[in-house]
Amino acid sequence: MAVDGYEKREIEAAASEYVPGSVEEKRLVRKIDLHLLPTLWVMYILNYLDRTNIGNAKVGADHGGFEQDWNLSSADYSLVLSIFFVGYLLWEVPSNMMLARSKPSIFLPTIMFIWGAMSVGAKGMTGLGGMVAFRFVLGLVEAGFFPGVMLLMSCWYKPEELSKRIAMFYTASLVAGAFGGLLSFGIMDGLEGKGNTRGWKWLFIIEGLITVVVACFAFFILPNYPLTTKWLSDDEKRLATGRLLASARGTTEDEEEHISHWQAFKLACKDPKTWVFVLIYNLLNMVGTISYFFPTLLGSMGYKGNMRQLMTVPIYVVALIISVTLGFVADKTRQKAYVVAGGATLATVSFVLVAAVPNDKVKYTFLCFGGGGVWTCVPVFLSWMVTMFDGREKRAVCIALINGFGNTASIYGSFFWPSHTKPKYIMGFSLTTAFSGVALIAVLCAKYFFGDKGVARTS
């Protein structure tokens, strides 16, 4: 819906008259929260389960997973993991460009429906080649979801409101990680062999069916941008856009209509912040690849069979508590960079201790804290990053570039934990620690050069 001159003048007037913290604004933000966050949270749970169930399907229950079915080597499994992010990178920027010119209520549920249907079709996989092709196409399809959500949230919330909400949104990945192991165990153990189908295939089928159903509901629930949302009154639309304009976050529908995709792409590439944030996100994601190997690492700590999956739950619970707490701290203090630096410090110290201490219980404890550090860094970093770019078109490209190139870390990071380095996995922990330490330095440099007040600046 285009904004005519009269409406635009009204919005600009609302921005000039905007008073932070008014009763009307608090009521509006609560309304936005109730309509937006629960839907995105559920969608992200299923997104995270879909991309990470590969770890549980690999080790399986006591009867074994696809690793045993196909006699995969450590390098084969790393290929299956990393190929997803090749497709993810290739389609990241085009996908977010499409979202910036389309309706989130159609775009996001559509790609969700497709990846759910693909998961159901995984029953037909018979070998490594099929799994590699499946994961590559899955990366193409899922490329637009996470950066699309970041773009959408940045068009609804002021910078100082984003950290805790992105942290709460990001808890979906932690909940999925915590209970994904339990769900996987229940499905694979209970349905193994039923319908002449292996348990790990049932895992893909059932999670895919749930995803398809939720996607259908999301078509009717997920909102678009403030000016095109039916459940906002005219006064609420003016307030929703006016308060963003007052915070230097203009997101009206006619914003940058004169800017083409190519112009937005060039602006994003010329902005040095884009590439600094690419580096930081790449470092953080490399550290985060450890989550794909939690069941494997727990096996080296003495946990056997199903316990390797069950003992991943406390890791994600600890991470959830730490990340949400520090997300609120980041918004309260408006010092997001320092919170990210604190999370990187916690991860660095914890992973050093995991590698150095011989006691398995101590290793497990600091593995939990290390996970908490990593999953504090990512959502707070994202809430910082999305506030640093002006304009929806440019911001869409910047988010896509940062998320896409940042996730290339998952391509090479999946090769840092080869089976021949067990039981200590010194190579993996050494690289993880080093990348976390470099991320800490890069964050502090970005803070020094670009600031951290939640107000976007032009380069």
The DSSP result for 14-31, as a single string, is HHHT--TT-HHHHHHHHH
Closest CA to 459 of 394, 414, 401, 396: 394
Range of the domain at 204: 19-249+258-450
pLDDT of 229-283, one tens digit each?
A: 889 988 888 888 888 887 754 444 444 445 677 888 888 899 999 999 999 999 9
Mean pLDDT score across all residues of the chain = 84
Number of domains forming the structure of the chain: 1
What pLDDT is stored for residue 151 in this prediction? 81
HSE-CB of 157 using CA atoms within 13 angstroms: 27
pLDDT of residue 248: 56
Contacts of 365 (CB under 8 A, 6+ apart): none
- Identify the residue whose tokens are 């953080």: 284
Please determine, for residue 375, whether its predicted confidence score (pLDDT) is greater than 60: yes
Q: What percent of the chain has pLDDT over 70?
A: 91
CATH of the domain at 413: 1.20.1250.20
- Specify if 14 maps to a domain: no
Q: Place 410 in a pLDDT band, splitting at 50, 70 and 90.
A: confident
Domain membership flag for residue 155: yes
pLDDT at 304: 79
What is the mean predicted confidence (pLDDT) over 199-220?
92
Say what the pLDDT of residue 327 is. Answer: 87
Rounded CA gap, 367 and 55, in Å?
17
The whole-angstrom separation of Cα 403 and Cα 408 is 9
pLDDT recorded at residue 187: 86
Mean pLDDT across the stretch 18-23?
83
In-domain check, residue 13: no
Query: Which has the higher per-residue pLDDT, 7 or 155?
Result: 155
**Residue 250: per-residue pLDDT:** 42
Residue type, 436: S
Name the token pair of 450.
């670009």
How confident is residue 65, by pLDDT bands cut at 50, 70 and 90? low
Whether the CB-CB separation of 160 and 331 falls below 8 Å is answered with yes
In-domain check, residue 9: no
pLDDT at 216 over 80: yes
* Higher pLDDT pick, 60 / 239: 239
Whether residue 344 is contained in a domain is answered as yes
**Which whole-number Å values give the CA distances from 269 to 140, 190, 250, 393, in the listed order?**
22, 51, 21, 13
pLDDT, average across residues 293-315: 82
Q: What is the pLDDT of residue 240?
A: 87
230 Cβ contact partners less than 8 Å away, ≥ 6 residues apart: none
Please report the pLDDT score of residue 292 as a whole number. Answer: 76
More confident residue, 239 or 459: 239
Helical H segments across 301-335, by residue range: 307-310, 312-333
Decide if 446 contacts 277 (C-beta within 8 A): yes
Residue 79 lies in a domain: yes
What whole-number distance in Å separates Cα of residue 91 and Cα of residue 297?
32
pLDDT score for 366: 95
Q: How many CA atoms lie within 13 A of 431 on its CB side?
A: 19
Neighbouring C-beta atoms of residue 26, cutoff 10 Å: 10
Compute CA 54 distance to the chain's CA centroid, rounded to the nearest angstrom: 17
pLDDT at 391 over 60: yes
- Position of tokens 């937005």? 264
Residue 258: other Cβ atoms inside 10 A: 8
Structural domain contains residue 73: yes
Give yes or no for a cis peptide into 423 (omega within 30° of 0): yes
In a domain, 378, yes or no: yes
